[in-house]
Chain A
Amino acid sequence: MRTRSDNGKLLLTYAVLIVLTFLSLYPALWIILSSIKEGNSLYSDTLIPSKMTFDHYRDLFERTMYPRWFLNTLKVAVCSTILGTFMLLLSSYAISRFRFAGRKTTLKVFLVLQMFPGFMAMIAIFVMLNAIGLLDSHWALILVYSSGSIISNVFVAKGFFDTIPRSLEDAARIDGASHLNVFVSVIVPLSTPMLTYASLMIFNGAFVDFIFADLILRTEEQRTLAVGLYKMVSQRNSTEFTTFAAGAVLVAIPVTLLFLFLQRYLVEGLTAGASKG
């Protein structure tokens, strides 16, 4: 039996949901519309521009080093993802499965490392890289991102491996498989959800980092998208706002799509990470 007040409540629910949806989509909508607006100012009379233009996107490609930055970013992000996921997989598997001397200590060290503010170490890395002449190199970034990604994801990954029953590996071992065989043919295929989550996190981290990358990459040619974009806003501020808007849209699109498509893994990973395995 539905009463009138029940229907009223449902209507109210929908009204609230519509308002929330509008609020959560508005910034994206606004920046997309700003990017196809004429002129270069922040201010506009109407939300939907009266005249549309794709000039800002063209400018981005012709007047800035945007394509170059894009390739740099892709290189850094893909390499860090591969290297980071590889090391993460190996180390969290070892911690989850083997009871070796120093295991508890290793776990505690990881926990402690997570608690330091990330860029406390940044200055030291900068000085070190400077000393060995690796400044302004993408490889420095890749190594640092991979190392950081192990620390931030190790508990999620370990928790995931803990849930895979040992009987699967034991069966393979009875058949005479070595540790390496077991790992490659039993464990890796089973870890797809965790691998997807971890690599998405690492990729995203490398894609949007502007603090550390800005410190390491000294020349314009070496910059990544995030750094380039950040400089664009902080240096020229609102004078070239529409070009920034176009750049922001292009950076956001790949990551946003990845997140939306891989939503399921994301939810699983987040839930696992939240309860610390």
Chain B
Amino acid sequence: MVRMRKPVGAAILSAIMFGLGQLSNRQWTKGIVFAAFGAIGIYGLIFELFDHLIGLITLGTNPTGFVKVGKLTKMVEGDHSIFMMINGLVAVIAALLFVFYYVLNIRDAYLVAKAREAGEDVRNFRQSLSSLGQKNFAYIILLPAFLTISFLTVLPLVFSILIAFTNYADPILPPARLVDWVGFDNFSKMLSLKQWSHTFGGVLQWTLIWAVIATTTTYIGGVLVAVLIHQPRVRFKKFWRTALIIPFAIPNMISLLVMRNMFNNQFGPINDYLRRIGLGGLPWLTDPFWAKTTVILVNMWIGIPITMILAFGVLTTIPKDLYEAADTDGASSYHRLRYITMPMVLFSTAPILIMQFAGNINNFNVIYLLTNGEPVNINYQFAGHTDLLVTWLYKLALNQSQFSFASVIGIFIFLIVGSISIWSYTRTRSYREEDMIQ
């Protein structure tokens, strides 16, 4: 009979029962600790988590309703699908952690047995604990971030994604009604049901137009301003720079609210000045075309300083002899800009351009604070002429309680932004050559 190798044996023992492998390795305290936590985990899994896991699948079976008790009808509160869903998700995470612990327990037994076979000393419990800190330092310092992010970002996000596959939208709102899984229904409604697809198409189209115009205007504007200030003969460079950075320094929530008042059709100062010089005022925020123009203009005011700062950084790195060589060849200042400055700046800021494009697709503040998506488009489902996908998402969820449709839009935004970011991220040097320096 072939004798089973010791490490495999220890692993199997640990797989059968928590801590058993450790005990066979003569690590008494460790074995008991592993066994104790394992027992708590199994108890929790059966008595606490199981119901929640089932709840996640059914999303509740007892609707709120009236039950006859003798002669009286009494209202009985049913299952709350949304709470059940969240509890279920927490249970899934807990179960996953438990599985992870189980694997860890087997792996530990295997490794220690292997070390023993090789004739190494077995550490006692205290030594194991203190070596844990050095060996797994990275995991330990990642732990706080890991916990907060999984519960406050990942879990809610998974919840929101799941919502897209349910019928959780007004009028089906718990606790009065039960929510059900509906698969890809909402997606197909969004794309083919007239009332939704029409709005979705229109809003998507404006979102993309907006992102393109907003990105190019701020980019070109920022680079031009930087080039203007960077000219060798311009004096007080620091003053101009600081003055032009101010729009970036003022919190944009404040400046946007201020702008909304400045562009007020009746009382705002801009129309006031226009009227004084004999031109009629413009419907800055109330006419679809002008509202779109206004948001783009205001976005330039906010966005140009950022590109300007970044372009400055590039301008200072362009070698001076390039310009001197151009001068000797008799190049005009236009040619210098066209053939030296622009290519250099464009080359080093291309990744920013892509990220800004992605950022503009999600540019909530400018639209929400300035126009709130208005003027209203009567052909749209809960959206206005200047609404972007994000602001529409916000309105659907918070004002209209159309949670499932809001989630569908969120997933679409993710797909758009995600493909842009991945495409650009894999192209940056730092990703490809990460371990080459040092």
Contact = CB atoms under 8 A, between A and B. Distances in A.
B170 to A, nearest CB: 13
A266 B267 CA distance: 37
Interface string B227-266: 0110101100000101111111111111101111110101
Given A42-B267, A91-B145, A123 B160 contact: yes
Interface stretch (A20-28, A55-63, A64-72, A191-199): A20-28
Contacts of B203: none
Contacts of A238: 261, 264, 267
B250 A230 contact: no
A48 interface: no
Given A91-B142, A143-B148, A150-B149, A275 B83 contact: no
B246 A120 contact: no
Contacts of A114: 421
Given A208-B254, A248-B258, A21 B244 contact: yes
B245 A165 contact: no
A210 B369 CA distance: 10
Contacts, number: 257
Given A150-B149, A277-B430, A115 B262 contact: no
A180 B134 CA distance: 9
A125 B153 CA distance: 8
A168 to B, nearest CB: 11
Given A30-B258, A115-B417, A128 B156 contact: yes
| Chain A residues touching B, range | 35 or more
A137 B261 CA distance: 32
A150 B138 contact: no
A244 B244 CA distance: 25
Residue of B234, B254, B313 ringed by the most chain A CB atoms within 10 A: B254
Contacts of B313: 267, 271
A44 to B, nearest CB: 8
A147 to B, nearest CB: 4
Contacts of A267: 309, 312-313
Contact of A121 (B160, B258, B264): B160
Nearest to B417: A115
Contacts of A275: 351-352, 428, 430
A274 B349 contact: yes
A243 to B, nearest CB: 13
Contacts of B309: 266-267, 270-271
B144 interface: yes
B310 A271 contact: yes
Interface of chain A, main secondary structure: helix
B15 interface: no
Nearest to B229: A17
A78 interface: no
A92 to B, nearest CB: 9
B390 A117 contact: yes
A139 B349 CA distance: 39
Contact of B138 (A94, A248, A270): A94
Interface in B308-325: 309-310, 312-313
A40 to B, nearest CB: 12
Interface in A93-119: 93-95, 97-98, 100, 106, 109, 111-119
Nearest to B145: A91
Nearest to B403: A123
Given A23-B301, A30-B269, A256-B246, A111 B83 contact: no
A216 to B, nearest CB: 12
Given A24-B244, A260-B242, A276-B351, A248 B154 contact: no
Interface stretch (B36-44, B66-74, B406-414): B406-414
A39 interface: no
Interface in B148-202: 148-149, 152-157, 159-160, 163
Nearest to B393: A117
Contacts of B250: 27-28, 252, 255-256
Contact of A204 (B243, B251, B266, B422): B251
A13 interface: yes
Given A230-B257, A274-B310, A20 B244 contact: yes
B82 interface: yes
Nearest to B239: A21
Interface string A258-277: 01100100110011001111
Contacts of B243: 21, 24-25
B225 interface: yes
A174 interface: no
Nearest to B434: A162
Contact of A94 (B142, B242, B362, B437): B142
Contacts of B399: none
B94 interface: no
A252 B251 contact: yes
A77 B34 CA distance: 41
A251 B418 contact: no
Interface of B: 82-83, 86, 133-134, 136-139, 141-142, 144-146, 148-149, 152-157, 159-160, 163, 225, 228-229, 231, 233-234, 240, 242-255, 257-262, 264, 266-269, 272, 301, 305-306, 309-310, 312-313, 333, 349, 351-352, 355, 358, 362, 364, 368, 390, 393-394, 397-398, 403, 406-407, 410, 413-414, 417-418, 421-422, 425, 428, 430-431, 434, 437-438
22 contacts: A28-B255, A30-B269, A42-B267, A116-B410, A117-B413, A118-B364, A119-B397, A120-B160, A120-B406, A120-B407, A121-B156, A124-B86, A127-B82, A128-B86, A147-B152, A150-B149, A245-B258, A252-B250, A256-B246, A271-B313, A274-B355, A275-B430
